[in-house]
Amino acid sequence: MVSGTEQRDVPNSAPNNHENWRRYLSPGSAGAYAFALFLVFIASVVRWGVGLLGQDVFIFAAYYPAVLFATYVGGLTVGAVTAFLSAVIAWWAFIPPYFSYTPLTTGLETKLGAFLFASALIIWGADHYRRLRKRLEDEESFRKLAVEELAHRLKNKLVTIQAIISFQLREEPLVRDAILRRLSALAATDDLIMAAQGHGARIRDILSTEFAPYDASRISMEGPDCRLSPKLALTMALLVHELATNAAKYGALSNSVGEISLDWSLSGGRLKLEWRESGGPPVDPPNHRGFGTRLFMRALDQFGGNVEATFAPTGLVCKMSILIPESTPTIVSEVIGKGTKVFVAD
C-alpha cells in the first residue's frame, strides 16, 4: 500500500566529475579556450613530427581536427579563434623560411584561404551539431523532469483515492482491503515502469514484486527476460495479483507446503504464461464468475488474448496467451550485459 507520507527523491550532493568538467568546458569559458590552445599545441607537434617525413605534407592538415573538437566543446567563437591561431602558427612555423612570416604570395594566399574556408565549414557544422545535441539533451532532461513530476502527482492522487476508499468502505473491510491491494499492485508496477524511464517493466520484476509478501522458496519462475510495454505491464500486474490473492486464500499459498510454478515464453507472435499450483488443498470450479474471472476476460480481450483455467485435483492450472500483432515490430531483441537477450512486447 502506498504510504500517505509524501516522499521525493533527494539529489545526490556528492560532486559529479562529469558535470564539473562540462561546466569547466562550457562554450565560451576560459576552460574552453584553454582546451583550444592545448589542441593547437598538439596539432603543431603532430604537424612537426609528420613534417620530418617530407616537405610535401599539406601544411594545415593536422589543424583540422583541432578546429573541429575546439568548436564542438567551446562553440563558434572558440572554433574561430582556434582556426585563426592555427593559421598564424602554421604560417610562421611550417612555411619556409621557418619561424618567420613569409610575405604573402598567390600560392600562400590560396593555401591560407582554402584552410580558413574549410575551417569555416567545419566550425559551422560542429557548432550546429553541438547546438542541436544540447537542445535534444535539454528536451530530454525536461521530459524526464515532467514524467517524474507527473508520477509524483499520481502517487499523491493514489494516496488520496486510498484514503477515500478506506473511509467510504470502512464498514466493508473485505471489499476495502481487496481494492486497496489491487491499487497497491498497480502502484508497484508504476514504480517499475518509472524506473525504466517509461519504457515498461520486465515480467520477472512484476512477478517478484507481487510475490514479495510470500515465501520465495515456494515459487519458481522460468522464462525469457521479457520487458512489457506500460499498458501490458499494468494488465499483467493485475492478473498476477488476482492469481496470487486466490492462491493465498484458497490455493497453494493457503497452507505451509503448497508451491507455485510460472513458465512463460514468446513464440509465434504470442506471449504465453502458465500458472501451476501444487500441494495446496483440493480446489473446485467456482459456481459463478467473480470479479477475478471478469477481470481476466476483459483485460486479455484488449490484447487479443485468452485464458484457460483448469481446476485439477493437484491445484489450479491457468494458461494465458496474449497476441502480439504481426503488423508492427512489437518484439525486439537486444543484447545487454554479456549476451543476455531482452524481448520487448507491446
Above pLDDT 70, what percent of the chain? 71
pLDDT: which is higher, 195 or 173: 173
Question: What is the structure's pLDDT at 97?
Answer: 80
Q: Give the separation between CA 342 and CA 344, rounded to whole angstroms.
A: 6
What interhelical angle do 106-168 and 76-93 show, nearest 10? 150
State how far Cα 19 lies from the chain centre.
20
Confidence at 261, pLDDT banded by 50, 70, 90: very high
How far apart CA 212 and CA 308 sit, in angstroms, is: 26
Domains and CATH numbers, the chain: 18-137 (no CATH), 200-345 (3.30.565.10)
pLDDT greater than 70 at residue 248: yes
SS3 181: helix
Is the Cβ–Cβ distance between 321 and 306 less than 8 Å?
yes
Task: Please give the pLDDT value at position 194.
Answer: 64
The pLDDT, as a whole number, for residue 338 is: 40
Residue 242: is it exposed, middle or buried by C-beta count within 10 angstroms (0-12/13-18/19+)? buried
Whether 342 has a pLDDT exceeding 50, the answer reads: no
Higher pLDDT pick, 39 / 178: 39
C-alpha cell at 57: 605534407
Over range 313-327, report the average pLDDT.
77
For residue range 80-118, list pLDDT tens digits in order: 999 999 888 888 888 778 788 878 777 778 888 888 888
Predicted confidence band of residue 259 (pLDDT cuts 50, 70, 90):
very high
pLDDT-based confidence at residue 260 (cuts at 50, 70, 90):
very high
Neighbours of 346 (CB within 10 A): 17
Q: Which pLDDT band, with edges at 50, 70 and 90, does 274 fall under?
A: very high
**Percentage of residues in the chain having pLDDT higher than 90:** 5
pLDDT of residue 276: 92
Which phi and psi angles does 281 have, rounded to 5°? -70, 160
In the chain the beta strands, taken as DSSP E runs, fall at 201-202, 219-222, 225-228, 259-267, 270-278, 306-312, 315-323, 331-336, 340-345
In which element (H, E) is residue 119 found? Answer: helix 106-168
- Positive or negative CA dihedral for 154, 158, 159, 163? positive
Tell me how far apart the alpha carbons of residues 206 and 227 are, in angstroms, rounded to a whole number.
10
The reported pLDDT for the residue numbered 289 is 59
3-class SS of residue 302: coil
Check residues 232 and 3 and name the one with the higher pLDDT. Answer: 232
Could you give the CA distance from residue 95 to residue 345 in angstroms, rounded to a whole number?
Answer: 63
Contact 35, 25 (CB under 8 A): yes
